[in-house]
Amino acid sequence: MVNFLVSSCFFSSSTVRLTAYVLQSFLQAESYIQINHSVLSRATAWLINQQGADGKFREVGRVINTELQEALDKDSVALTAYALITLLKNQTYKEMYSDNVDKAQTYLESKVTVGVVSNYSLALVAYALALANNPVAGTVLDELMDRADKIGTLKGQIIRPI
């Protein structure tokens, strides 16, 4: 992964989703293997630079496998939730980029009020807001439960926080 990131000029040809994924992987692996902190810092800075003033993360690179993207909402709800999850999983970056974290939460909250179409996106939003201890997470979980009741297949599979 490091070779890919270095060869792509530190994320210049990367996607937000891939960068967030690799960054999460590195942050998890950091307690087991040595990770160059400049790689983590550059990845996080690149990720933050892809966030708009409205808090939304926009995909900038070329996405090769578009099947997942096609299943998601047409806007950047899932992508923003995924990037936010990456930032929230590391206390240092959560604090260092608190303004960005707040903007992403505000963006996701606004999308919840107008309705998130895909269940996948809504589940990512629920997880991101729960990680942030955001009170709107409960509303999102309620929406997921309502959808589960209507579909009949998800009931009992969603675990509510204690």
pLDDT at residue 91 is higher than 80: yes
DSSP label of 161:
P
CA 92, 97, 98, 102 torsion: positive or negative? negative
pLDDT at residue 162, rounded to an integer:
42
Predicted structure pTM score: 0.81
pLDDT at 158 over 80: no
- Confidence band (pLDDT; 50, 70, 90) for 57? very high
Tokens of 121: 């996106």
Q: Which domains are assigned to the chain?
A: 2-151 (1.50.10.20)
Averaging pLDDT over each range in 70-79, 103-112, 138-147, which range is the top one?
A: 103-112
Res. 70: pLDDT tops 50? no
If you average pLDDT over residues 133-149, what whole number do you get? 89
Nearest to 122 by CA among 99, 93, 151: 151
